[in-house]
């Protein structure tokens, strides 16, 4: 699965390089696109109604809710509802995965947080003596994040990954007693 905004060049690159991967359009970016077509005075109301789509327990229920939301708001906000309708398949793709993953894969927020941390740490250093030193710092930050997601605060549980991959070996004990 690849998660991004709807940038056409990025989408084309994903389709070319990650053949067969599911593409998830960031729901935060979709919400911004929808609300950009709504007057400020109505944005809170529209936002609340659109969020009911993402609160559904299944992808099918979310699609039904999206159709209902579009039907209810189309006459008042036709452009916004066109944006929402066109994004339906892409913004609800995450719901085809185990529910335990939804929070992590529905938006680009985890990646944006990582990018913000990289910028923050690079700002602390200020000026790098050469390109290699900058690459080392970024590599170290990425390595720390990988360890955090893999070991410390597991990004996906082994049980939920076994659901996705069908690999029950993930659930086998990792340690063997030695005599």
Residue 164 lies in a domain: yes
Q: What are the helix and strand counts (H, E) for the chain?
A: 9, 2
pLDDT tens digits along 71-97? 999 999 999 999 999 999 999 999 998
Q: Do 18 and 87 have their domain in common?
A: yes
Q: Do 14 and 99 have their domain in common?
A: yes
Beta strands in the chain (DSSP E): 2-4, 23-25
Range of the domain at 167: 109-171
Q: CA nearest 137: which of 158, 123, 147?
A: 123
pLDDT tens digits along 86-129? 999 999 999 998 888 888 888 888 788 888 999 999 999 989 99
Q: Do 25 and 47 have their domain in common?
A: yes
Q: Say how many domains are in the chain.
A: 2
Q: Do 41 and 56 have their domain in common?
A: yes
Residue 47 lies in a domain: yes
Using the 3D structure, point to which of 76, 105, 134 is the last residue of a domain.
105
């Amino acid at each position: 699965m690849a998660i991004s905004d709807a940038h056409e060049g990025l989408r084309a690159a994903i389709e070319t390089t990650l053949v067969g991967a599911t593409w998830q359009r960031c729901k935060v970016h979709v919400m911004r696109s929808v609300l950009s077509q709504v007057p400020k005075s109505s944005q809170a109301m529209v936002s609340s109604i659109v969020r009911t789509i993402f609160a559904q327990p299944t992808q099918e229920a979310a699609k039904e809710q999206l159709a209902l939301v579009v039907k209810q708001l189309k006459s008042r906000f036709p452009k916004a509802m066109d944006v929402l309708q066109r994004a339906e398949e892409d913004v609800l793709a995450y719901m085809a995965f185990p529910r335990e993953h939804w929070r992590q894969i529905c938006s680009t927020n985890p990646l944006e947080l990582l990018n913000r941390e990289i910028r923050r740490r690079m700002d602390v250093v200020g000026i790098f003596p050469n390109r290699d030193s900058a690459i080392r710092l970024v590599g170290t930050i990425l390595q720390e994040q990988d360890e955090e997601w893999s070991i410390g605060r597991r990004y996906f549980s082994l049980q939920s990954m076994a659901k996705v991959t069908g690999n029950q070996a993930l659930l086998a004990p990792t340690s063997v007693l030695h005599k």
